[in-house]
Amino acid sequence: MTKIAFVGLGNMGGPMAANLVKAGHEVRGFDLSEASVKAAVAAGIKGAGALSEAVSDAECVITMLPKGQHVTAVWSDLTTLLPEGTLVIDCSTIDVESARKAHKLAEVMNCSALDAPVSGGTGGAAAGTLTFMVGGTEKAFAMGKPILEAMGRKIVHCGAPGAGQAAKICNNMILGISMIGVCEAFGLAEKLGLSHQALFDVASTSSGQCWSLTTYCPVPGPVPTSPANHDYKPGFAAALMLKDLSLSQEAARQTGAATPLGHHAAELYAEFEKAGHGGDDFSAIIHMLREKAGG
Ligand code: NAD
């Protein structure tokens, strides 16, 4: 049993913290939203009214927050609150630069730190089947792995500080591009008079195969569990896809990497969000692509 402070009890953090409780850890949670703290308390987490209260006595602190600025602000506050040797883990999806800044703050505290963003969405958070992509030293990884295992099925050590965030944004850039590619293929098939099922049966067992097709098929029918069969309710909201693509483009600019398709995918998801669809599943972009063809 580890005493854990969990900061950020939203759509992801709430169920993740609940799984830590189920695994026998003592979890104290803090969130700026009282409603989120209340929901967490109902799931067995001890509620805290302030960050300082949540982290007092904690052997490990986990943050699950919206953006880099929230993470660095909270980790800055932690520098005056944590004793040396505490393990601090950030599971949010944030830019690599902020992740590295957070690691530096942990160094100042003489604490071990991990960036450990997740894949698997709210369903994976609730089921405890997330994939964690982890950056940090071998020592910090060895400390954090058993804790992450209570919330996920696959824990991958990607390398040095920031490597977890790097893996996350590279993966999601592939996802955004591949979803648009699959949507375009279905749009072209429709114009050619080829049925959705026929394209699926061929491409899902051929070289066009990918997750966006076989698990998350953007047209209703071939994959009954995909959001297309449920009115395109997320799933993975288009606004979050835009966030991750924007992070990939920020990283590409900073490092000088060429990502022309990632750039265009970000532009298309920005257009989709601007049209009021940020809350739809990201596969719903097929509608916007069809409209571009005039039908
Ligand atoms: P969310 O908005 O539901 O939760 C974030 C929570 O952080 C909110 O409850 C908010 O009140 C709280 N918060 C903000 N600033 C705070 C502070 N200073 N102190 C304490 N609490 C604070 O977001 P979410 O969907 O849970 O996502 C969290 C992170 O996980 C994001 O970085 C997101 O990109 C990433 N992520 C989300 C999904 C998903 O499907 N929702 C999937 C993978 C990764």
| For the CA of 94, the nearest atom of ligand 1 | 32
Q: Same domain, yes or no, for 69 and 203? A: no
Q: Same domain, yes or no, for 134 and 182? A: no
| Residue among 51, 62, 52, 50 at smallest CA distance from 25 | 62
Q: Same domain, yes or no, for 156 and 174? A: no
Boundary residue ending a domain (93, 125, 160): 160
Q: Is 159 helix (H, G, I), strand (E, B) or coil?
A: strand
User: Domain tally for the chain?
Assistant: 2
115: Cβ below 6 Å to ligand 1? no
Give me the CATH number covering residue 104.
3.40.50.720
Give residue-wise pLDDT tens across range 4-32: 999 999 999 999 999 999 999 999 999 99
Question: Could you tell me the mean pLDDT of each successive run of 10 residues in the chain, 295 residues long?
Answer: 97 97 98 97 97 97 97 97 97 96 96 96 93 98 98 98 97 98 98 98 98 97 96 94 97 97 98 98 98 78
Torsion of CA 252, 167, 170, 269, to 10 degrees: -100
Distance 203 CA to ligand 1 centre (A): 35
Q: Same domain, yes or no, for 48 and 178? A: no
Give residue-wise pLDDT tens across range 89-143: 999 999 999 999 999 999 999 999 999 999 988 889 999 999 999 999 999 999 9
Q: Does the bond joining 152 to the residue before it have cis omega, within 30 degrees of 0?
A: no
Q: Same domain, yes or no, for 195 and 111? A: no
Residue 17 host element (H or E) = helix 13-22
Q: Same domain, yes or no, for 72 and 134? A: yes
Structure-token match 């950056």, residue found: 135
| For the CA of 121, the nearest atom of ligand 1 | 40
| Residue among 13, 9, 10 at smallest CA distance from 151 | 13
Q: Whose alpha carbon is nearest atom 16 of ligand 1?
A: 32
DSSP string of the chain, one letter each residue? --EEEEE--STTHHHHHHHHHHTT-EEEEE-S-HHHHHHHHHTTPEE-SSHHHHHTT-SEEEE--SSHHHHHHHHHHHTTTPPTT-EEEE-S---HHHHHHHHHHHHHHT-EEEE--EESHHHHHHHT-EEEEEES-HHHHHHHHHHHTTTEEEEEEEESTTHHHHHHHHHHHHHHHHHHHHHHHHHHHHHHT--HHHHHHHHTTSTT--HHHHTT-SSSSSSTTSGGGGTT--SSBHHHHHHHHHHHHHHHHHHT---HHHHHHHHHHHHHIIIIITTSBGGGHHHHHHHHTT-
Q: Same domain, yes or no, for 221 and 98? A: no
Note whether 180 and 265 are within 8 A (CB).
yes
Q: Probe ligand 1: pick from 7, 30, 32, 95, max atoms within 8 Å of CB?
A: 32
Q: How would you classify residue 106: left for phi > 0, otherwise alpha for psi between -120 and 50, otherwise beta?
A: alpha
236: Cβ below 6 Å to ligand 1? yes
30: Cβ below 6 Å to ligand 1? yes
Q: Same domain, yes or no, for 122 and 170? A: no
Give me the CATH number covering residue 251.
1.10.1040.10
pLDDT for the residue 235: 86
239: Cβ below 6 Å to ligand 1? no
Q: Same domain, yes or no, for 177 and 109? A: no
95: Cβ below 6 Å to ligand 1? no
Q: Same domain, yes or no, for 218 and 127? A: no
Boundary residue ending a domain (160, 176, 203): 160
Q: Same domain, yes or no, for 56 and 125? A: yes
Give residue-wise pLDDT tens across range 89-98: 999 999 999 9
Please indicate, yes or no, whether the overall pTM of this predicted structure exceeds 0.85.
yes
Distance 130 CA to ligand 1 centre (A): 15
Boundary residue ending a domain (132, 160, 188): 160
Q: Same domain, yes or no, for 43 and 135? A: yes
Range of the domain at 142: 3-160
Q: Whose alpha carbon is nearest atom 34 of ligand 1?
A: 93
54: Cβ below 6 Å to ligand 1? no
